[in-house]
């Protein structure tokens, strides 16, 4: 069976994730409807605006189907807003903001500041060899607290946010606060594909 990875294409950097996956000859395509979700083996939730993504997931009838697929064990990777969408708890979000409630963690929206305070920094990620990532943070979240089943895989290594958690994994779920789809470094996507294949 050929693995097919869907990329949630309601809003945000979904095209860049599709490009990163197909650059490694992975079958990948957009997911906007429940029937498209049903046809994929794994899912990527891109960066973007988490409050808008939440609203659109409800409008497009995807919120509950994605929650169910996550509960049933579907591998999912979320970057930036995708990390927020995978969190069970969100700080500084809208009161009506919904998430897919997959990873037992507390995430703070826009933790690094506004758009003008976006930056690049180095992040070492356990389980992924090849040295540190040059990570792009755009209005990024960070993780303030994790549950016992969550493994911290990466932290910011320098600057005022040194030590902040920016990469985690819980079972089949992976999340980063940064945007590997914008750098040309395919290691995070390859790691996720290997996760998905091994299920």
Annotated catalytic residue within 16, 17, 181, 189: 181
Contact between 192 and 153 (Cβ < 8 Å): no
**Residue 80: active-site member:** yes
Candidates 9, 77, 69; CA nearest to 40 is 69
**Residue 98: active-site member:** no
Annotated catalytic residue within 16, 17, 98, 179: 179
Provide the token pair at 55.
């609203």
Annotated catalytic residue within 16, 17, 80, 98: 80
What does the alpha-carbon distance between residue 41 and residue 196 come to, in Å, rounded to a whole number?
8
Q: Which residues contact 50 (CB under 8 A, 6 or more apart)?
A: 81, 84, 85, 90, 93, 97, 99, 109
Could you give the residue numbers annotated as active site? 80, 179, 181
């Amino acid at each position: 069976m050929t693995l097919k990875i869907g990329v949630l294409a309601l809003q945000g950097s979904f095209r860049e994730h599709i490009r990163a996956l197909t650059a490694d000859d992975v079958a990948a395509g957009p997911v906007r409807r429940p029937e498209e979700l049903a046809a994929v083996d794994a899912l990527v939730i891109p960066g973007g605006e988490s409050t808008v993504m939440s609203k659109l997931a409800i409008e497009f009838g995807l919120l509950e189907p994605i929650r169910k697929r996550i509960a049933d064990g579907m591998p999912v990777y979320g970057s930036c807003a995708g990390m927020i969408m995978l969190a069970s708890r969100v700080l500084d979000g809208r009161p009506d903001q919904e998430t897919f409630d997959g990873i037992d963690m507390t995430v703070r929206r826009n933790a690094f500041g506004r758009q003008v305070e976006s930056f690049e920094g180095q992040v070492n990620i356990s389980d992924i060899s090849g040295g540190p990532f040059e990570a792009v943070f755009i209005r990024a979240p960070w993780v303030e607290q994790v549950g016992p089943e969550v493994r911290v895989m990466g932290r910011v290594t320098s600057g005022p946010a040194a030590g902040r958690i920016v990469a985690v994994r819980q079972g089949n779920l992976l999340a980063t606060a940064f945007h590997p789809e914008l750098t040309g470094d395919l290691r995070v996507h390859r790691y996720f594909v290997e996760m998905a294949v091994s299920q």
